[in-house]
Structure 1
Amino acid sequence: MTHTVVTGITACFVLYTRSAGVAYFAAGAVLCSMSVKVIKRCVRQPRPVQVIRGKRKKSYGMPSTHSATITFFAAYIALACLYLPIHPTLPSSPFTRVLPIIISIPWAVTIVVSRIWLGHHNVPQVIAGCACGLVLAPLWFNLWTHGANDYSRALEHALFGQR
């Protein structure tokens, strides 16, 4: 259910801010998830043996997609809070910069640990997933800060009109 909650919160935030930067962040999370699924199909390492509701999960386990994506979320949110200006739809205060980090990092750690605790992945699979997220988040953030954001105002205007 994690993916539903995270996707829902992200969608609400995109709609609330109407920000091209937030949409770009969400696209990066989707790209992270898709790239890890490709890696899984190449590595083909099975998950730990576990029966869920009478069925054994058939997908591969290395690397953990949940761990990669939630680590991407936490790392990108931390980078955005530390280095980007606060979006005009959000309150301008130091609390606005700190609160997302205080929420996202422990939440990510909880999800990552739950993947092992619930038996969906083993430790190396989760570590590999976290590593993927930690590599992709700064790369995606760097693309935004070094050119992709130049088109954000025009995109926001085209999609949502004048502010």
Structure 2
Amino acid sequence: MADDITPLASLSLTHVYYNPSDPLSLLSAYLALLPQALIIVYTTLLLSTREAEVALTFAGQLVCEALNFALKRLIKEERPRHILDSATKGYGMPSSHAQFVAFWAVTVGLFLLVRHRPGERRATREKGGIEGWMHGEWGVLERAAVSGCALGLAGAVAWSRIYLGYHTEKQVVVGWVAGVVIAIVWYVVTTVVREFGLLEWALELPVARWFRLRDLVVEEDLCQAGWEKWEGRREAAKRKKTT
């Protein structure tokens, strides 16, 4: 009877080896889950905002992963020996984690510092006879700070792969450089798509209209826009009660 039992396998998607007696090793194990968390964030933002920019960025991230898959099988460099002895499968050059987070961080920075062009708004304005309220757009310093935080977090993830012993320094550096290069190339590609009107054409297609895809986030602060609608409703309700 025991001979009929099928041996179980481990799903390596979130299976991370770490030293339980080392707090930094545990932190590194959690940092290793950032790519999976970002996939959830991408999907959530795409479904909730239907923004074309989110869709383009997510598509670029998938292209980055596909290229990493191809590079690993082209180079065929093994991981460090002690990790191989722990039954971890797959090649190590370049590091997929480093490439993933480098693409993400550079893309965030390029969007916030180059592509994002929020319109200048007045401090007050008329909305149906109601005086407007202060609107604070992110300035260059705020956007630079967020971009720096993304870059720092990505660097921590890349470092964690070396600390955990999943990759050599060279494998992580190559993965990081590949992610940066792909992010820059993808930014150029999406800029060309925008400049030549291809995105505008695609958003007019029936399937894009059916999914309610739009392209607002480049010039609008979507959180503030929703807040303004809410404040307008509250002010209107207050005025109605006092009349």
Do the structures match in fold with TM over 0.5?
yes
In structure 1, stretches of 5+ residues that fail to align are none
Pick the aligned partner of 2:203 from 143, 146, 155. Answer: 155
Between 1 and 2, higher relative CO (CA 8 Å, sep ≥ 6) is seen in 1
Pick the aligned partner of 2:143 from 97, 101, 114. Answer: 97
**Greater mean deviation of Cα atoms: 149-158 or 22-31:** 149-158
Indicate yes or no: 2:120 matched with 1:75: no
Does the CA contact (< 8 Å) of 1:68 and 1:133 recur in 2? yes
Amino acid at match of 2:79: R
How many residues are aligned here?
160
Amino acid at match of 1:160: R
CA RMSD of aligned residues (A): 2.6
Render the CA deviation track for 1:113-161: whole Å, top value 9, x for unaligned. Answer: 0000011100000011011111111100001111246343452852216
Does the CA contact (< 8 Å) of 1:63 and 1:129 recur in 2? yes
The separation in 2 between residues aligned to 1:83 and 1:17, in whole angstroms, is: 21
Q: TM-score, normalised by structure 2?
A: 0.59
SS at match of 2:81: coil
Amino acid at match of 2:186: W
Aligned sequence identity (%): 27
Amino acid at match of 2:199: S
Please tell me whether Structure 1 or Structure 2 has the larger radius of gyration of its CA atoms.
2
Indicate yes or no: 2:79 matched with 1:47: yes
Indicate yes or no: 2:72 matched with 1:20: no
Indicate yes or no: 2:77 matched with 1:32: no
1:71-150 to 2 correspondence within 5 Å?
71-86=102-117, 92-94=137-139, 97-148=143-194, 150=197
Deviation at residue 97 of structure 1 after TM alignment: 2.7
Q: TM-score, normalised by structure 1?
A: 0.85
SS at match of 1:56: coil
Indicate the structure with greater helix content. 1
The separation in 2 between residues aligned to 1:30 and 1:161, in whole angstroms, is: 19
The separation in 1 between residues aligned to 2:89 and 2:179, in whole angstroms, is: 23
In structure 2, stretches of 5+ residues that fail to align are 1-32, 120-135, 217-243
The separation in 2 between residues aligned to 1:50 and 1:2, in whole angstroms, is: 24
